[in-house]
Chains A and B, each alone.
Chain A
Amino acid sequence: DIQMTQSPSSLSASVGDRVTITCQANQDSGKYLNWYQQKPGQAPKLLIYAASNLETGVPSRFSGSGSGTDFTFTISSLQPEDFATYYCQQLRTFGQGTRLETK
Chain B
Amino acid sequence: QVQLVQSGAEVKQPGASVKVSCKASGYTFTGYYIHWVRQAPGQGLEWMGWMYSKSGGTDSAQNFRGRITMTRDTSIGTAYMELSRLTSDDTALYYCVRAKCNDGRCYNFDYWGQGTLVTVSS
Query: A residues within 8 Å of B by Cβ?
Result: 1, 31-32, 34, 36, 43-46, 49-50, 53, 55, 87, 89, 91-97
Contact = CB atoms under 8 A, between A and B. Distances in A.
Contacts of B109: 34, 36, 44, 46, 89
A95 B43 CA distance: 11
Contact of A87 (B45, B100, B105, B114): B45
Nearest to A45: B112
Given A34-B109, A92-B107, A49 B46 contact: no
A30 B62 CA distance: 23
Contacts of A46: 108-110
A97 B40 CA distance: 13
A18 to B, nearest CB: 25
B103 A50 contact: yes
A49 B112 contact: no
B32 interface: no
A2 to B, nearest CB: 11
B47 A94 contact: yes
